[in-house]
């Protein structure tokens, strides 16, 4: 199984192709948007290994989800003691981090890559409400990063 670093390095080839297209076709001129799209692409390239409890992406996503859930519970159910907040956070974190999953299972399939890319694009669309053209662009760039992961796993 290639490490997350190898996946990022391999994905840089995909990023280079993407940037080449963007600049030669003049699709986007805004550097901040391009930077953000590259970041999404790199994240997607690491995402499939979320099915491995030891993976770095799993650690990060567990941390983000546990913080979000704890924050949500604390605000909505007025948890006032710090101790119960900390214990709740730790339990949620451990549950997500070590939930048993099969490596190279669902997240390493093509159909999942299409659904994941669409779902993530949709979340950003809910926030930014960008036009259809940008929707396609976000979708394709996330999918592009995701495919780089699946392809590298297939050939190694």
Catalog residues that contact Zn ion under the rule CB under 5 A. 48-49, 153
Nearer to Zn ion, 129 or 154 (CB): 154
Distances (CA, A) of 122 to 39, 70, 108, 132, 134: 17, 24, 21, 11, 11
Residue 1 C-beta: closest distance to Zn ion, Å: 6
Q: Is 37:137 a contact under the CB 8 Å cutoff?
A: yes
Q: Which C-beta is closer to Zn ion: that of 118 or that of 153?
A: 153
- As measured in angstroms, the least distance from the Cβ of 141 to Zn ion is 19
Cα first-last separation, the chain: 7
Angle, alpha carbons 24-27-31 (nearest 5°): 95
CB of 8 to Zn ion, least distance (A): 12
DSSP state of 51: G
> Please, what is the minimum distance in Å from the beta carbon of residue 11 to Zn ion?
12
Q: Among residues 11 and 49, whose Cβ is nearest to Zn ion?
A: 49
**CB-CB contact of 35 with 136 (8 Å):** no
Our CB check for Zn ion shows the closer of 48 and 145 to be: 48
């Amino acid at each position: 199984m290639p490490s997350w670093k190898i996946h990022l390095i391999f994905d840089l080839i995909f990023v280079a192709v993407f940037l080449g297209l963007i600049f030669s076709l003049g699709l986007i001129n805004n550097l901040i948007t391009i930077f953000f799209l590259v970041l999404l692409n790199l994240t997607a390239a690491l995402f499939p290994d979320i099915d491995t409890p030891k993976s770095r992406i799993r650690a990060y996503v567990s941390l983000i989800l546990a913080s979000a859930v704890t924050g949500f519970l604390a605000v909505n159910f007025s948890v006032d003691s710090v101790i119960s907040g900390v214990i709740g956070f730790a339990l949620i974190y451990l549950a997500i981090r070590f939930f048993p999953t099969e490596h190279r299972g669902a997240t390493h399939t093509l159909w999942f890559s299409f659904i994941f890319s669409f779902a993530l694009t949709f979340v950003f669309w809910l926030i930014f409400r960008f036009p259809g053209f940008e929707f396609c662009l976000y979708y394709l760039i996330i999918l592009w990063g995701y495919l780089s992961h699946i392809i590298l796993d297939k050939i190694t």
